Amino acid sequence: MDKDHLRILFIGDVIGEPGRKAIFVALSDLMREKKIDFVIANGENASGGFGITGEIAGKLYSYGVDCITSGNHIWRNKAIFRDINGDQKLLRPANYPRGTPGRGWTVLEKHGVKVGVLNLLGRVFMEPLDCPFRTAQKEIPIIQKQTKIIIVDFHGEATSEKVAMGWHLNGMVSAVIGTHTHVQTADERVLDGGTAYITDAGMTGPFDSIIGMKKDGALKKFVTMIPSKFIVAEDDIRMNGALVTVERESGKATHIERIQETVPF
């Protein structure tokens, strides 16, 4: 580990078994190559393409993931209600109403350094939850009492809302990483307040697909507007994400780069 900097990898939305396999196969080598200190993955689609379970979360931890964030599909697999309260490394969006199971942020220590992770869900074209902007304003000062290194997963549909969150939190957090659309954007940068930003980290899973699902079913839905079963695709497995370099003392980001790894099987 660099004594002055922390290198944090954020892995874009993990899609079903192919996405989990990609992490199993590629993460350890990538960590050595890129000198990665801490790993966050959005795992809300890790169970069959929709939802996650405690068992699957445990597998991702065993592969090297330190923290799992989520989004609007967090509740799709009912098994999660049994597991989420007992797992401080598995997050659901913090702007769900009070009383919702689980936690919206956490602070984890690794190699003597504390990293805060905050999960938020957008409202544009999404569920009408509590305001993510006001939720961030409320929760971040609490996290800052424990660490200046804070990574935010903003799970949202609208690019405008994600960009707005980046500027809203500029200078308050180390990075704002967008998730949900499964398509990696090319707008990575470090804002003038020292906050790294990217609108979407992309997805980890099968790219011979329509955002992770077999093409026939997704096309049928678009062409006919008749409900169709979505099945996770299997081919052209890739890992998408973003790697952020953060000053350990200040919590300011100094660099962000996109990760695009093809995973051989």
Q: What is the pLDDT of residues 228-240, one digit of tens each?
A: 889 999 999 999 9
3-state secondary structure of 175: strand
Within-domain flag for 212: no
Reported pTM: 0.97
Tokens describing residue 24: 């199993």
Whether 155 is a known active-site residue: answer no
On whether residue 255 sits in a domain, the answer given is yes
Cα gap 226→235, rounded to integer Å: 26
Is residue 218 domain-resident?
no
Please, where are the H alpha helices in 51-191? Answer: 54-62, 80-83, 132-144, 159-168
Range of the domain at 190: 5-207+237-262
Q: How deeply is 76 buried, as exposed, middle or buried, from its count of CB atoms within 10 A (0-12, 13-18, 19+)?
A: middle
Identify whether 54 is part of a domain.
yes
For the stretch 190-211, pLDDT in tens is 999 999 999 999 999 999 999 9
Question: Alpha-carbon distance 244 to 7, whole Å?
Answer: 6
Domain count, the chain: 1
DSSP β-bridge partners for residue 260: 240
Element (H, E) at 23: helix 16-34
Is residue 103 in some structural domain? yes
Q: Answer whether residue 216 is part of any domain.
A: no
Query: Out of 73, 155, 168, 180, which one is annotated catalytic?
Result: 73
CA dihedral (244, 247, 190, 131) positive or negative: positive
The pLDDT tens digits along the chain (265 residues) read 688 999 999 999 999 999 999 999 999 999 999 999 999 999 999 999 999 999 999 999 999 999 999 999 999 999 999 999 999 999 999 999 999 999 999 999 998 999 999 999 999 999 899 999 999 999 999 999 999 999 999 999 999 999 999 999 999 999 999 999 999 999 999 999 999 999 999 999 999 999 999 999 999 999 999 988 899 999 999 999 999 999 999 999 999 999 999 998 7
The CATH number given to whatever domain includes residue 154 is 3.60.21.10
Do residues 256 and 198 touch, judged by C-beta distance below 8 A?
yes
